[in-house]
């Protein structure tokens, strides 16, 4: 990635110093936030701290090596960065085009899926975390099991932990990309 910067410390003494400095900075930020007079000042300080190298914006960890992601304009720990790279690659390699995705989401939302159009009267029929409705619809559409597994893994990464959440959390991410 262009201009990506990794700060990796191997010496245990330097790791301890780094972690203690980050802890001191966090305490200072808390003091400044508590003494700030307006909510705008407090929000600005909190945002500055969360975008700094002191903590991973994704997981919030403060004791790990960090990588700067210019495409995201933020620092991530090495583990979260690896996760983002993995899922970006998985998304790029997913063998489902926009038409197939739209058809799937439409069918999952409809009567053969969760049944959201009748929600005020009868409630939804979510299949839970094993995705039975999604798997059935994907199979009927002729999507190969290996592609189904990749797709459902991506859905989970996007917050789709069940059939309903695929529609509410994952579908917007797939459609807007």
Please work out, in degrees rounded to the nearest 5, the angle formed at the alpha carbon of residue 104 by the alpha carbons of 99 and 105.
100
Beta bridge mates, 39: none
Query: In this predicted structure, what is the pLDDT of residue 129?
Result: 74
CA angle 131, 132, 136 (to 5 degrees): 115
In whole numbers, what is the pLDDT of the chain averaged over residues?
A: 87
Question: How sure is the predictor about 111, in pLDDT bands with cuts at 50, 70 and 90?
Answer: confident
Radius of gyration of the chain, Cα coordinates, nearest whole angstrom:
21
Mean pLDDT of 118-138: 75
The pLDDT confidence band at residue 117, using thresholds 50, 70 and 90, is low
Backbone dihedral angles phi then psi of residue 25, each to the nearest 5 degrees: -65, -40
DSSP notation for 96-149: --HHHHHHHHHHHHSTTTT-GGGHHHH------TT-HHHHHHHHHTT--HHHHH
**By the 8 A CB rule, do 101 and 81 touch?**
no
Mean pLDDT of 127-144: 88
Strand order in the sheet with 5-7: 5-7, 66-69, 74-77
Supply the pLDDT for residue 118: 58
For the chain, the 3-state helix, strand and coil shares in percent, each to the nearest 5, are: 60, 5, 35
Structure-model confidence comparison of residues 5 and 65, the more confident one: 65
Give yes or no for residue 151 having a pLDDT over 90. Answer: yes
């Amino acid at each position: 990635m262009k201009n990506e910067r990794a700060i990796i410390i191997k010496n245990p003494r330097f790791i301890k110093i780094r972690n203690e400095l980050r802890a001191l900075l966090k305490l200072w930020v808390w003091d400044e936030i508590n003494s700030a007079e307006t909510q705008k000042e407090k929000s600005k300080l909190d945002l500055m701290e969360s975008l700094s190298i002191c903590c991973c914006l994704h997981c919030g960890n403060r004791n790990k090596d960090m990588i700067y992601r210019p495409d995201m304009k933020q620092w991530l720990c090495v583990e979260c960065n690896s996760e983002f790279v993995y899922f970006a690659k998985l998304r790029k390699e997913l063998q489902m085009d926009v038409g197939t995705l739209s058809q799937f989401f439409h069918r999952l939302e409809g009567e053969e899926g969760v049944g959201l159009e009748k929600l005020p009267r009868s409630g939804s029929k979510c299949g839970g975390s094993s995705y039975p409705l999604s798997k059935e619809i994907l199979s009927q559409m002729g999507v190969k099991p290996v592609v189904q597994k990749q797709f459902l893994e991506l859905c989970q990464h996007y917050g789709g932990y069940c059939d309903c959440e695929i529609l509410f959390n994952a579908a917007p991410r797939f459609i807007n990309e």
